[in-house]
């Protein structure tokens, strides 16, 4: 029992760190893709820079706990679903449950990414001109959104 709790905490912490790293990579890539906010951040005074640093670490902590809590929920629901199946059905259960959760989560992420396309246009495209970088960012968002939605369609009837 104690080993299970330790293993679960290690697993949850690992997923917390992974979600935090994923969030930080996303934020840094967004800063690098959008020239204007990066210039404003680098040419500002020290107080603004330290405030951005504090916000960055705060959001990192929040995303760590999101990943940690999500992993706990995933493991708890997996055990609940596993009890409902017989011994012979449990052979392929881990793969089927992973595909079920993957389908559920990719639909949500796909929707969020698809909604960010107009918000990117509203927030970052200035004036009547669009640069190649703007087309590239919106194209990448659309491609990722479509790919994730395709994954959702493929695995949606797994369990």
**Closest by CA position to 68, among listed 24, 11, 26, 3:** 11
Cβ–Cβ under 8 Å, residues 106 and 151: yes
Which range, 1-15, 81-95, 103-117, has the best average confidence (pLDDT)? 103-117
For 56, the domain range is 1-84
Q: Are both 71 and 105 inside the same structural domain?
A: no
- Give residue for tokens 């940690």: 68
Range of lowest pLDDT (36-50, 92-106, 113-127, 134-148): 36-50
Q: Give how many domains the chain has, as a whole number.
A: 2
Q: Are both 77 and 118 inside the same structural domain?
A: no
pLDDT confidence of residue 82 = 81
**Per-residue pLDDT tens for 64-105?**
999 999 888 888 888 888 887 777 777 778 888 888 888 888
DSSP 122: H
Average pLDDT over residues 115-142: 79
Give residue 67's Cα distance to chain centre.
Answer: 9
Q: Are both 58 and 109 inside the same structural domain?
A: no
Q: Are both 136 and 64 inside the same structural domain?
A: no
Q: Are both 152 and 98 inside the same structural domain?
A: yes
> CA 119, 25, 9: angle at the middle one, nearest 5?
115
Q: Are both 159 and 138 inside the same structural domain?
A: yes
pLDDT confidence of residue 64 = 93
**Closest by CA position to 125, among listed 144, 114, 133:** 133
- CA gap 88, 138 in Å, rounded: 47
CB atoms within 10 A of CB 93: 15
């Amino acid at each position: 029992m104690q080993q299970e709790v330790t293993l679960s905490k290690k697993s949850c912490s690992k997923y917390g760190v992974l979600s935090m790293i994923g969030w930080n990579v996303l934020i840094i890539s967004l800063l690098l893709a959008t020239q204007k906010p990066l210039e404003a951040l680098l040419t500002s005074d020290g107080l603004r820079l330290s405030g951005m640093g504090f916000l960055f670490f705060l959001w990192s902590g929040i995303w760590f706990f999101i990943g940690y809590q999500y992993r706990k929920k995933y493991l708890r629901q997996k055990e609940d679903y596993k009890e409902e199946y017989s011994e012979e059905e449990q052979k392929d259960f881990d793969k089927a449950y992973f595909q079920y959760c993957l389908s559920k989560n990719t639909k949500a992420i796909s929707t969020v990414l698809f909604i960010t396309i107009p918000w990117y246009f509203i927030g970052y495209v200035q004036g009547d001109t669009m640069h190649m970088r703007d087309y590239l960012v919106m194209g990448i968002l659309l491609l990722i959104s479509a790919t994730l939605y395709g994954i959702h369609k493929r695995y949606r009837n797994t369990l």
